[in-house]
A and B are shown apart, each in its own frame.
Chain A
């Protein structure tokens, strides 16, 4: 695998209605890194993610993946490298059956049919969803939909996985399963989320975004220990790092 360095330099983006969603964001991720992007609602997380797969083109600044800047000419190659898992799996699963949906990407890449089949099978096995392959996506449960949506991206063999709120709408068990699966992936991972407990499990590094700017970028443990910073950015310490209300009540 090549060194897929994800680099964002002084990215700026203002929506047509005048909202400045991103006001100069820069960071650099090295190959295989797992990074959380956290921030309040409306901090610019989703807009940032949309730049990483080229849905939005930077109005100012550069997004480059593996030293290749994202432009119209390189878009197709980079989209193959960056796999994007959407917040609402219903947006992502549009084909009539799970198998067709997971095969959609590889078929568009022009892979031969045998290879498409192996890729689909492998991707579905990876998320324990092979038994769902003939079901229509709209009949799946939330957790199953999420698993299939991830398989649909894995089947394209991306080097970088970008995920928007992967744990929302999952029950605790489904959430735990997902975290375990994600921990097993060797891809470079970029996860935008409010689930800071998941970040503790998955990401060594955390980037905090507030009002379209990076306000902190560093080891997850340090950032989550910084109470005032979290409070400023409308965040809270992960539950696991907060005192246990039951035990501390007892000691009183």
Chain B
């Protein structure tokens, strides 16, 4: 349990990176959200055996980490934390797909291994882009941008509140589990029945809290719309950022740069 919550609370520390003040942090959140979406779309839309064409995409996270003065090692650790999910999604490919695609020296590489590697690459690219987005924009900034772009307000408010109260909920769950642990002995008291009751208890507490929060919001004039003071401005810098990167992604999606480079070098060597 303790490992899960320490990992969980690190999500909050990712968010604190968003208070840094670099040109990248100052960009309108919308520019960063749109660019990241284009990036993810381009990366996931490759066919499943694609490897080489994915490599140039690493320029995006690398440049952003550099210009946003983000701690690369820290982001890498976050990435590793989520990596098992991608690993288990792809690990069965090598067993099912045994057709040899090419030879590396004398070792035949099957399609399964290639698609497995491709999944891992895509995972690294998309998740690091998302982590960087949150680290440079902050979760509330992302929600605000989504709303401005046209996502339904109900959805963005839900997301904002989910994020705000996840911490409280985890804290509450943790206390319940601790209270159970202190009074269960030799596995007695830790069974499914008690677990069900704890979950029910948590639900009831959550409903109670939701009611109190709603009351607090109503007391301060809430009418269904969250107003924020921060002015955001989509200017030249934002336009340049969005179009520049998106253009590059689309170009990299259409033309396989490493392959072209390889062909060019072979041509030269001839």
Contact = CB atoms under 8 A, between A and B. Distances in A.
Interface of A: 50, 53, 55, 76, 79-80, 83-84, 86, 88, 90-92, 94-97, 99-100, 103-105, 107-109, 113, 116-117, 134, 136-139, 152-153, 156
A153 B139 CA distance: 25
Interface in B139-169: 139-140, 160-161, 163-165, 167-168
**Interface of chain B, helix or strand or loop or mixed?**
helix
Interface in B184-227: 209, 212-213, 215-223, 226-227
A108 B223 contact: yes
A96 B160 contact: yes
Given A94-B217, A152-B220, A107 B138 contact: no
B160 A108 contact: no
Q: How large is the interface on B (under 10, 10 to 19, 20 to 34, 35 or more residues)?
A: 20 to 34
A55 B215 contact: yes
Contact of B216 (A91, A96, A99, A107): A91
Contacts of A100: 140, 228-229
A86 B139 contact: no
Given A88-B212, A91-B209, A108-B221, 7 more contacts: A84-B216, A95-B164, A104-B227, A107-B229, A108-B222, A136-B15, A138-B164
Contact of A92 (B15, B19, B216, B223): B216
Interface of B: 12, 15-16, 19, 138-140, 160-161, 163-165, 167-168, 209, 212-213, 215-223, 226-229, 231
A16 to B, nearest CB: 14
Given A108-B220, A108-B222, A134 B212 contact: no
Contacts of A95: 140, 164, 226
A135 to B, nearest CB: 9
A106 to B, nearest CB: 9
B212 A76 contact: no
**Interface of chain A, helix or strand or loop or mixed?**
helix
A108 B225 CA distance: 8
A90 B220 contact: no
A100 B229 CA distance: 7
B164 A109 contact: no
Contacts of B19: 134
Contacts of A55: 215, 218-219
Given A88-B212, A96-B139, A138-B164, A107 B12 contact: no
Contacts of A107: 227-229
A84 B213 contact: no
Contacts of B212: 86, 88, 91
B168 A138 contact: yes
A94 B229 contact: no
